[in-house]
Amino acid sequence: MEKTILQESKYQKRKANKTNFIQGLKAGIPIGMGYFAVSFTLGITARNAGLTPWQAMVMSMALHASAGQFAAINVIAASAGFLEMAVTSFIVNLRYLLLSSSLSQKISSKTPFFHRFLMAFYVTDEIFGVSAARPGYVNPCFVYGAAIVAGPSWEIGTFLGASVGNILPISVANAMNVALYGMFLAIIIPPAKKDKFIAGIVVLSMFASYLFTVIPGINQISSGFQIIILTVLIAGAAALIRPVSDNSNEDPINQESNPEV
């Protein structure tokens, strides 16, 4: 009797993992489109810095970080020291510390270490975004689904950019460049529609971000740090003004249907 219940729950878990994986694949398509467009430019920059297409692609496979990779290419081109590479990478990618911390509260506390280690490879802005938009806890299989589609687009796009340049017509490339922003909007607008407070946060964040690009002095701060400063200030203020109640983040029904692996 106990065995059947165990088998039953194992079966349900596997089914939920499969569903989440497929939903992840779907979420990965628009991300992959956007990545493809951006990674060409990255590949071209890598080639101009003297990297071979393979090196450019290996870098994309290892880092999955656009601003971080442009910075890394600069360090390589300047033949700077390894310490400088570590420091630059740390500064340019520091925002992932915030994103990962936020994601840590979106996964079940029972999530085993190997999933945490594996998911950490794919905490990109975009995959984090679609994960944050999931109702309830994020099933690691969702992240893997998105990563399997989006990752190779990034890597192959870099390779192509570094070997043959931009194969996309400029009109198509320009259009595809908004794919990732469109995706971000699809993540933040629907919750803003339901919750006026979140709508206020979104509008304020965009306005403040605009101000940061025009105010002399402040606009000299790197975009990575601007993101960190604005996030700490605005999310911090929001947390003071309206702390979330205990279960506002978790939907019990969805938790049931997204059990851990």
Residue list 5-24, contact with other proteins (CB under 8 A):
none
Per-residue mark of binding to other proteins, 216-235 (x: CB under 8 A): -------x--xx--xx--xx
**Dihedral class, residue 46 (left if φ above 0, else alpha if ψ from -120 to 50, else beta):** alpha
Residue 29 near other proteins by CB under 8 A = yes
Residue 97 near other proteins by CB under 8 A = yes
- CA atoms within a 13 Å half-sphere pointing along the CA-CB vector of 207: 7
Residue 165 near other proteins by CB under 8 A = no
Q: What share of the chain is helix, strand, coil (3-state, %, to 5)?
A: 75, 0, 25
* 251 alpha-carbon distance from chain centroid: 22
Among 12, 219, 222, 248, interactor with other proteins by CB under 8 A = 248
Residue 176 near other proteins by CB under 8 A = yes
Residue 128 near other proteins by CB under 8 A = yes
For residue 157, what are the contacts with CB-CB under 8 A and spacing of at least 6?
A: 35, 36, 37, 38, 39, 40, 42, 43, 60
Residue 26 near other proteins by CB under 8 A = yes
CB of 31 to other proteins, least distance (A): 8
The C-alpha atoms of residue 76 and residue 60 are separated, in whole angstroms, by 14
- Cβ-based neighbour number of residue 38 at 10 Å: 21
CA angle 165–171–177, rounded 5-degree value: 75
Nearer to other proteins, 33 or 141 (CB): 33
Residue 206 near other proteins by CB under 8 A = yes
Residue 44 near other proteins by CB under 8 A = no
Nearer to other proteins, 186 or 261 (CB): 186
Residue 132 near other proteins by CB under 8 A = yes
Residue 121 near other proteins by CB under 8 A = yes
Residue list 64-93, contact with other proteins (CB under 8 A):
65, 68, 72, 75-76, 82, 85-86, 89-90, 93
Residue 242 near other proteins by CB under 8 A = yes
Residue list 184-203, contact with other proteins (CB under 8 A):
184-193, 198, 201-202
The C-alpha atoms of residue 143 and residue 120 are separated, in whole angstroms, by 10
Nearer to other proteins, 6 or 206 (CB): 206
**Dihedral class, residue 178 (left if φ above 0, else alpha if ψ from -120 to 50, else beta):** alpha
Among 16, 25, 44, 99, interactor with other proteins by CB under 8 A = 99
Q: How many residues does the chain have?
A: 261
Nearer to other proteins, 5 or 240 (CB): 240
Residue 48 near other proteins by CB under 8 A = no
- As a dihedral over the C-alpha atoms of residue 204, residue 209, residue 214, residue 217, rounded to 10 degrees, the angle is 110
Nearer to other proteins, 76 or 156 (CB): 76
